[in-house]
Amino acid sequence: MSRIVVTAFGKDRTGIVASISKALADTGANIEDMTCSKLGENFVILTVCGLKNEKSFSAVKKAVTIAGKKVGVNVVVQREEIFKGMHRV
């Protein structure tokens, strides 16, 4: 099963985790790991998710990007291989 890393960041407010998590759940992406931190005025979510199937990448990306916009955060969705490549020998 392929995995993605979702990075969301923006000005802190209520409902960011709820909004992003809902979008992930609605598109069948299973959260396997999640870190949330408040950095000054900003809020950052780093999460690793398993995709329902290979073809669901675009749908997940679209859904979380829209969900992020609603709560004022930028969202980056990347396949996990880019992190493996850069940080694992």
**Positions that interact with another protein (CB under 8 A):** 3, 5, 7, 32-33, 35, 37, 46, 48, 57, 61, 76-83, 85-87
Residue number, 11 or 62, with CB nearest to another protein: 62
- Least separation in angstroms between residue 86's CB and another protein is 5
- Least separation in angstroms between residue 81's CB and another protein is 6
Contact 60, 51 (CB under 8 A): yes
- Least separation in angstroms between residue 19's CB and another protein is 20
Contact 11, 43 (CB under 8 A): yes
CA proximity to 20, closest of 60, 78, 80: 60
Residue number, 18 or 74, with CB nearest to another protein: 74
Tokens 């398993």 belong to which residue? 50
Residue number, 30 or 78, with CB nearest to another protein: 78
Residues, the chain, total?
89
Write the single-letter amino acid at 1. Answer: M
